[in-house]
Structures are given as structure tokens and as C-alpha cells.
Amino acid sequence: MDRLEQTLPLTREGVQAAHVLIKQHVHLTPVLTNTTLSNLASAPQTVEALLGTEWEGRTPARPKIRFWFKCENLQRIGAFKVRGAFHALEQLRQDPATFERLKTSGVVTHSSGNHAQALALAARTFGIPAHIVMPTISTPSKIAATQGYGANVIFSGSTSQEREVVVNDVIARTGAMLIPPYDHPAIILGQGTLCLELQEQVKEMSGHSLNAVIAPCGGGGMLSGVALSCIGTGIRVFGAEPSFQGCDDARRGLLAGERITTVKSLTIADGLRTPLGVHTWNVISDPAKVTAMFAVTEDQIKAAMRLVLERMKVVVEPSAVVGLAAALFNENFRTLIEREGGESGWDLGVVFSGGNTTVEAIGKLFSGQERDVGKVGAQGERVAENVAG
């Protein structure tokens, strides 16, 4: 893949260099705080909320958490993915002969939606054809948006293996260059730029640094980039995944000591249905870069999403809130913060990775549910109703 095959440094300096290249193409997305959610996370869960979980019978943790939300849902195309896509094409633009050739052959990728839109926009910006392989079960609004950026959309099955078969066919027919959705240094470094911004924005707003950042993890490109951006800063990095149908492949892989190569899950967090790649595994499996991974349930994702929609008035997709869900409901993570944060607690950065959803999708997600969406939702609502926002 010409210049993309060249080794890019997977370092904090590499992320900084990527930021210089893409600043003109991306929004400096806002960082928001929310007293209600911080107080909710700092209150113990009820004993009833832990019934039937692995923490049943345990004294609920009482961490002190101050949230800082990096709102990549307000990024161009509605998600962080635009960062990696523009960085990949900017890298290719450094080789004029290769870049000129791409104006005929184009680029290709596979994605459930956000990387699809990101590459379609970046390719259109540079006058390059884009061939996007999307699973047939992709969110209709994401398909429409990708086509709206002028991309040629080709449909495939939902697993990464099925997507890759179709991608290889496109390459054979067109000569298009593959721009991977997550498992490539150019993509990883581009995604990490969001956390460089987060670090500086928190310092400007508060006068001090974050203690930790938690980010969603699917293929791991963004989490890997976040981890690289924090090297040498003292900021700890954590990842969060859905547990539904074994979608927590990174967490399970770390426990087993080897990368899990397939995921077959229909979690509501549709942007996180892919397994880690080779490059992302190498970063995320390094405990010096990523401290730990945590998993959350579908109900916990829904409860976190409801709180963001109703309390923050911010539109997010389910994938975006898995990190928040871990901070609210995963007792292993909450206990760690309580133990290591002590009385002063932690300033915790939370990445809202995207907001590509619709009113219809949100309505369907919560249709048929009572106001108390199970133990998890009821706990969240009871506490939130008694906290001044």
C-alpha cells in the first residue's frame, strides 16, 4: 500500500505529528462536564442493583469521580473516525505519484458505518473515488450518509471475514487501495489526536491534569491511539466493551493471553462488533499502555445512554457510552477508582465516540420499556432525581 505500508511510529510523538497533519480537516470538539453524572457515579449502587451479578453480596464501591466528556459525537460525520481517515489520506498525499494514481483507482474499506462515512468524506475532499463495503445490517442512516458523501457502497455479511472477502474482490476489480478501519498505524495515530486535545482542554478548564481516560473498544484503533497519546503523561488508560454474545474480545483475550480473532455479536453498540487487529492488540495488550478492560451489559449501555440524553441533552449512539456505563455500573472499575483515587478521587476523561443515530432508532431502543429500565436503569434514575444538576 505504498506510503501506508511504511512504518509510522506508534508513539506519543507520532500522535502529535498526526495532529499537525489533520487539524485543518477536523473540528476541535468540546469537552463537557456534568455535575449530575459525576455525583451519580460517586454514589454507591444499591445492594438490589448488584443482585444476580458477579458482585452480589459485595459492599458497593464509593468512588469519587469527576467526569470530563470528549464529545466526538459533534465531530465531522458525527464520530471520531474522521481523524484516522484524513490522516491516512494525508500520509498518502506525501507521495504525489501514489496520490495521483488514487484519483483513478480510488480507495476501499469495510465498516459498519462511522469509518465508512469518514473515508467517504475524506476521499471526496481530495477528489478520490471511495468504495465502501458495509454489512447489510448497518444502520440505515449510516448507509445513507455514506452514499451522500458520494461513495460507492457494496453490501456484505456482518462478520469481519465476510467483509474482507468483498473488499478483496473490489481491489481485484478496481485496483483500489485499502484504508483499514482500525488496524493500521496511520489510523491509530489519527484517532489518538482526540485525546491530545482532551488533555489540553482539561488543563485549560481546570488547571490540572486527568487521572485517567476510558474509551470504547471495538477494533481498538481509537483506544490504541488514546493509549499512545498518554505515554509519559501519568494518565492511565482503560477500555470498555459490550459483553453481549462475547463482544468483549479484548477483555477475554487479555485474560487468555492471546488475541481473539472473531466476534459474532449483535450488541446494540454496533460500532464495537469487530475484534482487535494485530496492531491494536500489540498496543492494548501492553499493560504499560492500557491498564485494564471492562465489560458492560446491554441494559447498562441503555441506562447510560438514557442518562446522557435526558441529563446532558446530548445525542449519542450506544457505542459512545460504554465507557460511561463502566464507570457507573462496573464494580471492578469503580472499586479500582475508590482504592486508588482515595479521598481526592479521579478526574476521568470519557470519550463519547459518536452520535450517529436517529430519533427512530432511539425510540425503538427504548420502546416497550417502563420508566424504570430494570435494576440498572432504576438505580440511575433514583439517584439522578436526587442530585442537583
**Alpha-carbon gap, residue 80 to 256, rounded angstroms:** 30
Give the count of beta carbons closer than 10 Å to the beta carbon of residue 177. 22
Would residue 103 show up in a list of annotated catalytic residues for this protein? no
**Alpha-carbon gap, residue 30 to 374, rounded angstroms:** 32
Task: Give the CA dihedral 380, 386, 387, 389, nearest 10 degrees.
Answer: 100
Which residue reads 503523561 in cell numbers?
233
**263 Rama class: left (phi>0) / alpha (psi -120 to 50) / beta:** beta
Give residue 142's identity as a one-letter amino acid code: K
Catalytic one of 111, 112, 141, 160: 112
Catalytic one of 38, 70, 81, 156: 81
Q: If residue 198 lies in a helix (H) or strand (E), which one and from where to where?
A: helix 185-206
Cα dihedral sign, 17-15-65-309? positive
Pairing type for strands 65-71 and 31-32 reads antiparallel
**Alpha-carbon gap, residue 281 to 183, rounded angstroms:** 9
| 374 in Cβ contact with 299 (< 8 Å) | yes
Burial class, 112, CB count within 10 angstroms (exposed 0-12 / middle 13-18 / buried 19+): buried
b/e 328-338 (16+ beta carbons within 10 angstroms → b): bbbbebbbbbb
Would residue 112 show up in a list of annotated catalytic residues for this protein? yes
**Alpha-carbon gap, residue 155 to 167, rounded angstroms:** 10
| HEC string for 217-236 | CCCCHHHHHHHHHCCCCCCE
Give the active site residues.
Answer: 81, 112
